[in-house]
Chain A
Amino acid sequence: MTANTPLLKVDKAGIRFGGLKAVSEVNLELQKGELVGLIGPNGAGKTTFFNLLTGVYVPTEGSISLDGEKLNGFAPYKITKKGISRTFQNIRLFSDLTVLDNVKIAYHSLAKHSIISSIFRLPSHFAGEREMEEKAIEFLKIFKLDNVLYEQAKNLPYGQQRRLEIARALAANPKLLLLDEPAAGMNPQETDELMNLIALIRERFDLTILLIEHDMNLVMGVCERIYVLDHGQLIADGTPEEIRNNPKVIEAYLGEEVS
């Protein structure tokens, strides 16, 4: 692995569902530490692209590699262990479980105690569980969720649910964090807080982030580079300034407003 190996390299990746090419020939590279936006009108294929990256769908064309290692065909849980973690456009928390348990579950792959040790309550079980609990509580403090540790996830207000989902994704210890429209449904103040949070975690966890956002203005503010997807294809990529003035992008978004 050389110094300039991109963290994520997507090479002509795509997927078709029957006749529909939901994502097609997408080339994308992320360098370590970047915060990059992925925008596009509704139905452009952004979420589907995340599903390709995380192994929910296996690409029917092209390849995806993380740190130079090919990920095609790995099960989603393996890809998470390799270092890609995500949030969902429609929040998917473990809603009947507590805030604390939601985060502990993300720590599961780090657990060293076996099923046998848990069943027989061996010392390694208690040590492992205690370590997980302490780590999770410590972690939730960063997200200001330590006052609702034993609350069921579904009882949290919307903004906190979004925050918990991000916390949970980060607990899985990713190199690359994928955020799928994290600001959807938020009011301007919540959106501001969210953007601050993203900046904070990026610093603190030495992360690379790919952010899907429907709202172009929001992405323009925080991202260094932006990719634009329309009808499953990349139509542009560049700095916010370049994207703002790109006629193809303007057309794609205008087209959406008209329809």
Chain B
Amino acid sequence: MKSSKHAKGFWLSIVLAVIFSIVMQFLISGGTLNPFYVNTLFSIGINIILAVSLHLIIGITGQFSIGHAGFLAVGAYMSAIVTMKLALPFPVAILAAGMAAAVAGLVIGIPTLRLRGDYLAIATLGFGEIMRIVFLNIDYVGGASGMTVTHLTTWPWVIACVLMTIIVIVNFTNSTHGRACLSIRENEIAADAMGINTTYYKVMAFVIGAFFAGVAGALHAHNFYIIQPGNFGFLKSFDILILVVIGGLGSMSGSVFAAILLTIISTYLSNYPELRMVIYSLVLVVMMLFRPQGLMGTKEITAFLKMGKSAKGGSHDDGKHTTA
């Protein structure tokens, strides 16, 4: 009974999303939306993918990984190689980007996910920096001056990837596999004692998260005409991390809202990059003081919609998170 209700809400949101995408497509092709807005829209989509994929790793599985831009970089470069060097079509590039990032996630995840808390954070941060430096030193992909990439990212690709990311991660989370990840976040020792292969699920969350960060990388690379290692430094990882933290660790809808909100803010502030960082930091400080659980806490938007009725626990505002 409960699950069928969930299913209904799920399909309803998909239908709404499809209607929204079609309307947007008309607005874009009809020229109603000027290129500045279109570009903002694409950035929002890419950031939603990044936020939701990191949400799976940090918010659901509780693994404080802060090198997400590393996977973005792998995806961006992989996709650029596929379209520019191998002259293969864009969908192949998107898939290859996701796969390459997932492999990177697997290779990095197996050794580092044994670490906990601060150590994991430092290791993943290191991974992000290493990826940047690797691309900086490979001439095949242009070194410091980067690679020029044709503009192939269009609205249908963006919205299709956003929806795919959300569907996959929501479906994963709302299953026994997602609960296994949640149990790791809640209490790793107890999860182990209940027969959960914690290493497997940590790596799995990491690999799925990395896959979608790679997909975001493909969209990103083919939206900006040029990719350079400098785009994927620690600050980019921080930008993604802040979306998850501000949205509320454990809330996917929170990550989505934060991605929309902060992308709009930063687009308007793009001429003042220093100011942007100051504002971000201020927002974060204010947040920590007044709403440390993030915009949404661990709640999902659906919990607010059916507030009061059949209070499905599992998500409560003052939730504490074992992320460290």
Contacts and interface: CB of A to CB of B under 8 A. Distances in A.
Interface of A: 54, 56, 75-77, 80-81, 85-86, 88, 92-99, 101, 104-109, 111, 113, 115, 118-121, 125-126, 128-130, 132-133, 150-152, 155, 168-169, 172
Nearest to A125: B175
Contacts of A152: 313-314, 316
B286 interface: no
B125 interface: no
Nearest to B177: A115
B197 interface: yes
Contacts of B298: 96
Contacts of B194: 77, 80, 85, 105-106, 108, 168-169, 172
A162 B50 CA distance: 40
11 contacts: A77-B197, A93-B187, A96-B186, A96-B298, A105-B182, A115-B175, A118-B177, A150-B310, A152-B313, A155-B313, A168-B194
Interface of B: 3, 168, 171-172, 175-180, 182-183, 186-187, 189-198, 204, 250, 298, 310-316, 319-321
A94 B316 contact: no
A99 B82 CA distance: 49
* Residue among A92, A126, A128 with most chain B CB within 10 A: A92
A94 B183 contact: yes
A86 B177 contact: no
A104 B175 CA distance: 10
A118 B176 contact: yes
A205 to B, nearest CB: 16
A94 B186 CA distance: 5
A109 to B, nearest CB: 4
A108 B182 contact: no
Contacts of B186: 93-97
Given A76-B192, A77-B197, A86-B193, 8 more contacts: A85-B194, A94-B187, A96-B298, A96-B320, A97-B179, A130-B3, A151-B313, A168-B194
Given A93-B190, A94-B190, A119-B171, A111 B198 contact: no
A118 B171 contact: yes
Contacts of B198: 77
A168 B312 CA distance: 20
A80 B175 CA distance: 21
Contacts of B187: 92-95
Nearest to A80: B195
**What 7 pairs across the A-B complex have the smallest Cβ distances?**
A118-B175, A94-B186, A80-B195, A92-B190, A109-B195, A76-B192, A98-B313
Contacts of B183: 94, 97, 105
A113 B193 contact: no
Nearest to B171: A119
A95 B183 CA distance: 9
B176 A111 contact: yes
A217 to B, nearest CB: 29
A94 B182 contact: yes
